[in-house]
Amino acid sequence: MAKQFDVAVIGAGAAGMMCAAVAAQQGKRVVVIDHASKLAEKIRISGGGRCNFTNIHAGPQHFLSDNPHFCKSALSRYTPQDFLALVKKHRIGYHEKHKGQQFCNESAEQIIEMLKDECASGDVHWRMPCKIGSVERRDDGGFVLQTDSGEIEAANVVIATGGLSIPKIGATDFAYRIASQFDLKMVEPRPALVPLTFDPSSWAPFAELSGIALEVDVETGSLKGRKPTGARFREDLLFTHRGLSGPAILQISSFWQPGTPIIINLLPEVDVAQTLIEGKGSLKKQLGNIVSQWLPERLADCLLAVNGLAPDARIADMPDAQLRKLGLAINAWSIVPNGSEGYRKAEVTRGGIDTRELSQQTMMANKVPGLYFIGESVDVTGWLGGYNFQWAWASGVAAGVAL
């Protein structure tokens, strides 16, 4: 005979466990189902193993969505302070690293244990590893799930299977298939918080800079070129063999549109053209010596070479126009990525279930009573820095209290 539950949560990640714990602690009979054999692998590998579990500054402005107001309700009803209170209740030591980002002092495992304990105090049932064959809605409401551990009946189903990033640890398009089955619209998914790549021949001069890191300003340009389109970050950039990575690039990748450039200020504190032109009389004479005082030497050499400038050129002899061109190459380096490293390396998936299909109060699908979507499966994508977990917690709680 089918096992009967009030709630079946599919996906035992950040959002799923939070939702299950909240619903179960309100007295609901909850089962959590996941196809993986290891619990919450993404929490485990997050933040370099220390889980950047929230950001104390998190607000709707830190999220991308086709429907930017949607996230406001859930985020305001479960805040970073609420999650910190839970972390403190479980005596997990934490610290702030950078721009409001909160990390465990010891290990991301502590967050997983905390969520497991919260589920246990509500007597949550587990089916793991467990494959789901189908999810059908009965005419009288309620759902029937066919799984390789038997049939499960549930009055409500919560889809918390995340996005497509990192398939090798179990990411699937399950949420999108359920959306399609129930005729719910999607915002096209694509990799976000991801390193960007460049055409190998145009990247060749920069490939040898692999490993160089520096703090930059980065923004996205328009189809017409340099004109910035709004999003702008000051973070570290890292050169790789195939392109660019580091927090600056991961952040801007979420905003980048194929075919458009990104614009990088490699030296945000110096107006290069103005300093060189005004310093013609007083600065050290050779161009290479000056630029390598500002930038890592290999990068300085490379930038001069690709701009056809000799390192031993004397700035006093150079026309202002040439110095202005170098200024642009350093303060507004405009390059067009040919793509990204894709879901294999992306920290998150942008897009997902169109939020216009969901209630912002409860996360339930407007036209399918009893069917909920939470976490990364939904078209709400946070910046880098603890925002994505905050969305997982907040959307999980929004559904959990409504169930």
Which residues of this protein are in contact with ligand FDA, per CB under 6 A?
10-16, 34-36, 40, 42, 45-47, 51-52, 132, 160-162, 165-166, 170-172, 174, 347-348, 375-377, 386-389, 392
Residue nearest to ligand FDA (CB): 13
Please name the residues in contact with 268: beta carbons below 8 A apart, sequence gap of 6 or more: 215, 216, 217, 234, 331
- By CB atoms closer than 10 A (0-12, 13-18, 19+), residue 234 is middle
Of residues 290 and 364, the one with the C-beta less far from ligand FDA: 364
Using CA atoms, how far apart are residues 294 and 243, in angstroms rounded to an integer? 22
Q: How many residues does the chain have?
A: 403
Minimum Å distance from CB 278 to ligand FDA? Answer: 44
319 sits in the region (left: phi over 0; alpha: psi -120 to 50; else beta) called: beta
Of residues 158 and 267, the one with the C-beta less far from ligand FDA: 158
Please name the residues in contact with 168: beta carbons below 8 A apart, sequence gap of 6 or more: 344
Minimum Å distance from CB 293 to ligand FDA? Answer: 35
Of residues 16 and 400, the one with the C-beta less far from ligand FDA: 16
Minimum Å distance from CB 309 to ligand FDA? Answer: 40
Of residues 51 and 209, the one with the C-beta less far from ligand FDA: 51
Minimum Å distance from CB 170 to ligand FDA? Answer: 4
Whether 32 contacts 16, CB under 8 Å: yes
Minimum Å distance from CB 402 to ligand FDA? Answer: 17
Of residues 36 and 56, the one with the C-beta less far from ligand FDA: 36
Of residues 164 and 272, the one with the C-beta less far from ligand FDA: 164
Whether 285 contacts 312, CB under 8 Å: no
Helices (H) and strands (E) in the chain, counts: 13, 21
Minimum Å distance from CB 306 to ligand FDA? Answer: 32
Whether 15 contacts 83, CB under 8 Å: no
Of residues 333 and 387, the one with the C-beta less far from ligand FDA: 387
Whether 388 contacts 62, CB under 8 Å: no
Of residues 194 and 290, the one with the C-beta less far from ligand FDA: 194
Minimum Å distance from CB 137 to ligand FDA? Answer: 18
Minimum Å distance from CB 12 to ligand FDA? Answer: 5
From first CA to last CA, the distance across the chain in angstroms is 24
Please name the residues in contact with 33: beta carbons below 8 A apart, sequence gap of 6 or more: 8, 9, 10, 11, 12, 127, 128, 130, 132, 145, 147, 152
